[in-house]
Amino acid sequence: FLNNNLLLISGGLVFFIAVLIYLLQQPTFRIQLREAVLRLPLVGTWLLESETARWAAMLGTLLENRVALMRALELAGQGIMLPSLHAKLNQVTRSVRSGVSLSQALQDNEALTATGHNLIRVGEKSGELPKMLRSLAKLLEQSGRVRMKRFLLLLEPIAILVIGSVIGVIVTGIILAITSMNQIK
């Protein structure tokens, strides 16, 4: 089949790659792709945690260096690549600007986990918000590492099964070819 349709298959492959490159250059497609990846079971949670950790680390660093809270929220929010999280954090910034505390705004917009809300609330009450934000970032980074290790532990047996199946198909094909040669004679 491949020999008979080589031109058609290679043309289809080139067309597919060209369409994929074109789509990846479109900002709306990239946004939709990020949102689709965010809905995946393992990868989505890991991606959300890593983005939140980046935000918390950036905000903590900015606050440690005496940047005003509103400006720090705006700057930290600019680094977020996930549109849904970016929208939540923009709403948090608006809420804080209107006078709501940071922990309450984050909780109202469900921007963090319960642990994150508690850490930020404790940081606000103790006056150690930058330190708590850095702790939250470290906690989320550790959680992401653990999640990635679990994913790789799950991926290893699946890869072994797939590779074993491919080798089994190849060996079966070779054995069938050898036995059919014996039948011809």
| Backbone torsion region of residue 66, taken as left when φ is above 0, otherwise alpha when ψ lies between -120 and 50, otherwise beta | left
Distance CA 13, CA 113 (A): 43
Q: What average pLDDT does this structure show over 136-164?
A: 91
Q: What is the pLDDT of residue 150?
A: 85
pLDDT digits (tens, 9 = 90+) for 73-128: 999 999 898 888 999 999 999 999 999 999 999 999 998 888 899 999 999 999 99
Q: Is pLDDT of 129 > 70?
A: yes
- pTM summary value: 0.73
At residue 54 the predicted structure's pLDDT band, cuts being 50, 70 and 90, is very high
Q: Where is 157: in which H helix or E strand?
A: helix 129-184
Q: What is the pLDDT of residue 185?
A: 57
Q: What is the pLDDT of residue 128?
A: 93
Q: What is the pLDDT of residue 104?
A: 93
CB 88 within 8 A of CB 109: yes
What is the token pair recorded at 165? 């199946």
What is the token pair recorded at 177? 């070819």
Measured CA to CA in angstroms, residue 91 lies from 70, 76, 95, 136, 162 at distances of 12, 13, 6, 20, 45
The CA R_g of the chain, rounded to the nearest whole Å, is: 25
At residue 169 the predicted structure's pLDDT band, cuts being 50, 70 and 90, is very high
Distance CA 185, CA 182 (A): 6
pLDDT digits (tens, 9 = 90+) for 8-18: 999 999 999 99
What is the token pair recorded at 89? 């954090």
